[in-house]
Amino acid sequence: MKVQLFDYYLPESLIAQKPMTPRDSSRLLVVHSKEKKWEHQHFYNLIDYLQAGDVLVLNHTKVIPARLFGKKETGAIIEVLLLKKKEIDIWEVLVKPGKKVKIGDRIFFGENQELRTTCIDITEEGSRIIQFYYEGVFEVILDFLGEMPLPPYITETLKDSSRYQTVYSKDGVSVAAPTAGLHFTEELLVKIKEKGIMVTSLLLNVGLGTFRPVKEENLEDHPMHEEYYELSEESANIINKAKNMNQRVIAVGTTSVRVLETIFLKYGKAVSDKGWTNIFIYPGYQYKCIDGLITNFHLPKSTLLMLVSALIGREFTLATYEEAVKQGYRFFSFGDAMFIE
């Protein structure tokens, strides 16, 4: 299947630069996939489209301040972006400028060199494997020295870094936010639970590969990125009970979809599990778990747009995006949301 089939026109003015305040005041495009029609609402209206017995599955991962600026022993300034935790204190990273960091090179961060690294390997793709050295707690040092790694299409400075974090973030090491969850407020979640909707969660550490466009001409040739996931026994039991009672399982975000579908492909049901997934969902895929999806509007020719197209069909997905553009919805990470049912 040609990647070009998943392209669409988006005016640059519709790329959201700032999150809405309050969070749930963003717009919500309700997509009735069976009837092939839309409703235009606000996110706080989501509760009107949820039913008692539904299960919402959140991704409780936490975004870390993954962008660091340091110096080599030569004095050269190096930007380091954490990509993936390989082992304790060993990370795969992107470095700028890349050619200046070779195996054995050391980089120092902070006025007092609170964080030190050595490059121990270079991957085939050109990213570096580095080992960190420090005294104290890594997360505390990272909070002090690091910056939130906002996507490149967001050019304005984010004054409050908590706005690139969901209100229910708990643990994990994501370098990008599970953006569908940014619309929820604590108050809205309370109202949802009071209506009899089960809310449970899983973990998927979001990597930058999520946002990378597919560069191959045929999407089948695209090498899918890996991301680490965990599903607890408690959440698995909640999901299985819903499926057995023919109640809807609604994923909040494509990251939750990746975990649920990975596990259902492996076991045929929800099972407490952890590991790495490189699942690539595109048209032709038959969903095994989810019955609905809350998601933002994704980049043209992205794997996330293909995932949505597998759920409601490519043509209707592109028609939905055309409608969103026509109605002036805000796109991407800080943009508006869709509820697909």
Query: Alpha carbon 2 to chain centroid distance?
Result: 24
Q: Which residues of 165-189 are buried (b: 16+ CB within 10 A; e: fewer)?
A: bbebbeebbbbbbbbbbbbbeeebb
Measured in degrees and rounded to the nearest 5, phi and psi for residue 267 equal -120, -15
**pLDDT tens, residue order, the chain (341 aa):** 999 999 999 999 999 999 999 999 999 999 999 999 999 999 999 999 999 999 999 999 999 999 999 999 999 999 999 998 899 999 999 999 988 899 999 999 999 999 999 999 999 888 999 999 999 999 999 999 999 989 889 999 898 999 999 999 999 999 999 999 999 999 999 999 999 999 999 999 998 777 677 889 999 999 898 999 999 999 999 999 999 999 999 999 999 999 999 999 999 999 999 999 999 999 999 999 999 999 999 999 999 999 999 999 999 999 999 999 999 999 999 999 999 99
Token pair belonging to 307: 């995932």
Which pLDDT belongs to residue 152?
87
CB 157 within 8 A of CB 18: no
Distances (CA, A) of 137 to 60, 111, 132: 22, 17, 12
Query: Alpha carbon 162 to chain centroid distance?
Result: 16
CA distance 209 to 320: 24
Structural domains of the chain, ranges and CATH numbers in brackets: 3-63+160-340 (3.40.1780.10), 67-145 (2.40.10.240)
**What pTM does this model have?**
0.94
CA distance 301 to 211: 10
CA distance 265 to 192: 29
- Residue 206 CB-half CA count within 13 A: 31
State the Rg of the chain over Cα: 20
CA distance 265 to 130: 34
CB 309 within 8 A of CB 270: no
Give residues with Cβ within 8 angstroms of 213, minimum separation 6: 299, 300, 301, 302
Distances (CA, A) of 118 to 73, 112, 124, 132, 134: 11, 17, 18, 7, 12
Q: Could you tell me the sign of the dihedral formed by the alpha carbons of 255, 256, 257, 263, in that order?
A: positive
Which pLDDT belongs to residue 211?
67
